[in-house]
Amino acid sequence: MKVTRLEETKKTMPNYQNNLEHLKDELGKLDLLIQVRIVAFRQAGQTPFPTDPTHMYISHEEVDQLLKPLPAWQGVRAASKDIQVSLERHQQELRKKVGHSLQQGIFLALPQLTHIFSLSPFEVEILLICLAPELDRKYDKLYAYLQDDITRKKPSVDLVLDLLCASEAERWEARSYFSPQSPLFRTGMLTFIEDVQSPSGSSDLARFLKLDARILNYLLGTNHVDAQLVNCSKLILPHSNTEAIFIDPSIQKNLLQFMQHHFSDQSKHRKKLVIHLHGSYGVGKKELAASLCKTLQIPLLILDLPLLLKAPAQIESQLKLAFREGLLQQAALFLEGIDPISDPQESHRLKYLAQAISQYGWLTFLAGEKAWVQQPGQFEGSLFQSIQLPLPDTSLRKAAWAHHLSPLNIEETHTWEEALANQFRLSPGQIRDAVQSMQAQKKRSKSNITCADLFKACREQSNQKLNEMARKITAHSDWNDIILPDAQLTQLKEICTQVKHRAQVFGVWGFEQKLSYGKGLSVLFSGPPGTGKTLAAEVIAHALGLDCYKIDLSGLVSKYIGETEKNLSKVFQEAETSNAILFFDEADALFGKRTEVSDAHDRYANIETSYLLQKMEEYEGIVILATNLRDNMDEAFTRRIRFIIEFPFPDIEQRLAIWKRHFPKQAPLSDDVDYDFLSRNVQVAGGNIKNIVLNAAFLAAENGQVIRMAHLIQGTKREYEKIGKLWDESRLGITKEKAR
Ligand code: ATP
């Protein structure tokens, strides 16, 4: 039979078949060390354990049995040398076999742990002493025997020093291995247990050593995530399926190249890598990290930081534990929800994080929604890269919709993808959530998902925070409800046309690349109060199926420098998910004329206006500025607005139409209501007409009657009083019959 080269090598280079075989051999070495100790005892004529047969004790014979072949009690002097020789030979063999095994790629936990935490040979021996009783109960007895007490089964510092040190000087030197800063204790691999039986408290030497449960499992070859972390972490192995990723491919490619280049440096001085990924919820931070790690064949340990922060007192130890786990798994660490830590006011938490990274980190992803301005020296010894993940463009969104809708097996979905992708600037995660939430709702009602359902689900996903900063206008009114001159109506309809074809003109036809600015759809509505500016925004929102938010600019402008920009930025950021129409009321608060810059705040106010203009231009949806005081608007700003629509005070015909439209079909209306009279004589804007009609309706309801002309005249009187308009019945041509 032909002997292969590999088999030949194996014969000449003995190795361990597996981790357990290696550990057994290590225990063989420990046995020899213990023998050396016992022999030394016996040579000195000491009995390490009370031999009073009335007490529970471990007899010499029992120990001799456990440590076969321990030299006979009488022959210890002669045997001492032999044991030393055997120990040295055993150690040499063991080292060789470990080397060969590692060369052949056999996993041996102890050498691997030694490598990961750069343990010294002495520290490895300490670990082994602590590990032994977990593998074989005989060590309980042996340790108790050596420590003169049947209850002292765990190894004490003293015992370890006895076993590993040949002289007093060595013992002194070795004490440093037991300091809290030494690797074994800093990493939590070993902990101290006080000797409870010592009434006066135990000395450092008398303290027992306990091996950490996670490290024990690791050494036994079980590499499950630490039990203390299971609830707040998730391990993604390189071969496991990762979520589909909808991120600009160039971001992914550049980051991968950067990482490959970084890790190609095998030198000791290679810096630790900290990658901060920031972007809106669901933009794909975790998916990106998982996909990069998969390509690099690295496991990824995901840590739920907000969950960890719920127990703030333990954050330091938990972070350490997580980073240690990362090393044990040889995994990159992904800390999600980093924003609360990046806050400079939380500097102590940041310090813990930086410490954990500097001690155990090698590849760390930090993920949050906010950008992070790194302070100098924040992550010393690390290379910090902050990368923004933008919301996906229309084509990536369409792909995300296709991906999440395909399992529904509904034929029409391919026509929905386009509409949904065009309408909502959702992140892939939000798209997934929208589909899933609708699926759950439909499962309960046992009906099929429609496109309208998905639109609704998208709205629920977006603008959640916008409701806190703005008032949502519920869009019920359509083109029939607004009365304006034809020119204004045409302009309003043009706005809608531009939104509808935005994706085609800017995207498909490539106009986006040609324009550096001016892509946003900015509109100015000007006109007296109550002439239909808000109504027009509502009609547009209704026609386009968009949400509309009304923001009072005078409330948003802050006297604190920089605050206005912050407020504005929040509004735009929140609105961009749904391309909601943003209706800024009282625009003159920001865009009012300033003849000259008179004080420092005026200068900042100018910065604020240019900031709003910039945001408006970047925004993909419609931004409407409304003002009652067109003349008060600065020309420099109005020039940059795409549509300017004047809302005139309604003329007699328009007022007639407005009066008529304000009575619902169901409302009981008397025959004496004279629309011509009202439109001719009551010269007020649509907003006032609305109020008068409502006043009249309530008066009629109170009197238990139909709505009569007298109610309308009474309502008009109230409205006049409210707005401070002169009420002169004879000038208004109100006869007694009408008023009765
Ligand atoms: P302000 O400048 O005070 O905010 P505005 O111009 O935004 O006022 P709206 O709030 O749109 O005015 O008008 C209030 C109500 O008056 C509308 O909801 C509608 O019922 C009625 N209205 C006003 N103008 C018109 C119009 N042109 N056509 C039909 N109804 C109108």
**Average pLDDT for residues 581-593, to the nearest whole number?**
79
Mean pLDDT in the chain? 85
What the block records as the tokens of 705 is: 């009657």
Does residue 630 or residue 646 have the better pLDDT? 646
Give the model confidence (pLDDT) of 328-354 as tens digits. 999 999 999 998 887 777 778 888 898
Question: pLDDT at position 603, please?
Answer: 47
The candidate with the shortest Cα–Cα distance to 215, out of 181, 192, 190, 234, is: 190
Confidence category of residue 375, pLDDT binned at 50, 70, 90: confident
Give the model confidence (pLDDT) of 425-475 as tens digits. 889 999 999 999 888 888 888 788 888 888 888 877 776 677 777 888 888
Question: For the whole prediction, is pTM greater than 0.75?
Answer: no
Give the model confidence (pLDDT) of 69-100 as tens digits. 555 545 555 566 777 888 888 899 999 999 99
Burial per residue of 507-521, b for 16 or more beta-carbon CB atoms within 10 angstroms, e otherwise = eeeeeeeeeeeebbb
Residue 715 CB–ligand 1 contact under 6 Å: no
Residue 484 CB–ligand 1 contact under 6 Å: yes
CB atoms within 10 A of CB 121: 10
- Protein residue with its CA nearest to atom 4 in ligand 1: 529
Cα 309 off chain centre by: 13
What does the alpha-carbon distance between residue 144 and residue 581 come to, in Å, rounded to a whole number?
78
Q: What angle do CA 33, 36, 37 make, to 5 degrees?
A: 90
**Average pLDDT for residues 244-265, to the nearest whole number?**
92
Give the model confidence (pLDDT) of 39-65 as tens digits. 777 776 665 555 455 555 666 677 777
Is pLDDT above 50 for 676? Answer: yes
**Average pLDDT for residues 632-648, to the nearest whole number?**
84
Cα–Cα distances (Å) from 279 to 302, 319, 429, in that order, read: 17, 23, 12
What does the alpha-carbon distance between residue 332 and residue 289 come to, in Å, rounded to a whole number?
9
- In the numeric block, the tokens 């009575």 are attached to 663
Is pLDDT above 80 for 556? Answer: no
Residue 627 CB–ligand 1 contact under 6 Å: no
CA 483 to centroid of ligand 1, rounded, Å:
10
Question: pLDDT at position 233, please?
Answer: 93
Cα 286 off chain centre by: 8
Question: pLDDT at position 595, please?
Answer: 46
What the block records as the tokens of 615 is: 């945001």
Q: Which of 531, 548, 629 to mutate to test the pocket of ligand 1 (most atoms within 8 A of CB)?
A: 531
Question: Alpha-carbon dihedral of residues 443, 446, 448, 449, nearest 10 degrees?
Answer: -40
Question: pLDDT at position 479, please?
Answer: 95
**Average pLDDT for residues 277-288, to the nearest whole number?**
93
CA 686 to centroid of ligand 1, rounded, Å:
5
* Residue 508 DSSP symbol: I
Question: pLDDT at position 268, please?
Answer: 78
Is pLDDT above 60 for 597? Answer: no
Is pLDDT above 70 for 198? Answer: no
Give the model confidence (pLDDT) of 3-26 as tens digits. 555 555 555 668 899 999 999 999
Query: Counting atoms of ligand 1 from 1, which one is nearest the CA of 626?
Result: 2
Query: Counting atoms of ligand 1 from 1, which one is nearest the CA of 535?
Result: 11
What the block records as the tokens of 283 is: 């933009």
What the block records as the tokens of 499 is: 């939104």
What the block records as the tokens of 552 is: 């009072």
Question: pLDDT at position 77, please?
Answer: 53
Phi, psi values for residue 406, rounded to 5°: -60, -35
Is pLDDT above 70 for 604? Answer: no
Question: pLDDT at position 8, please?
Answer: 58
Q: Which amino acid, residue 181?
A: Q
Give every strand in the sheet of 471-473, ordered side by side.
Answer: 471-473, 548-552, 581-585, 622-627, 521-526, 643-646
Is pLDDT above 80 for 563? Answer: no
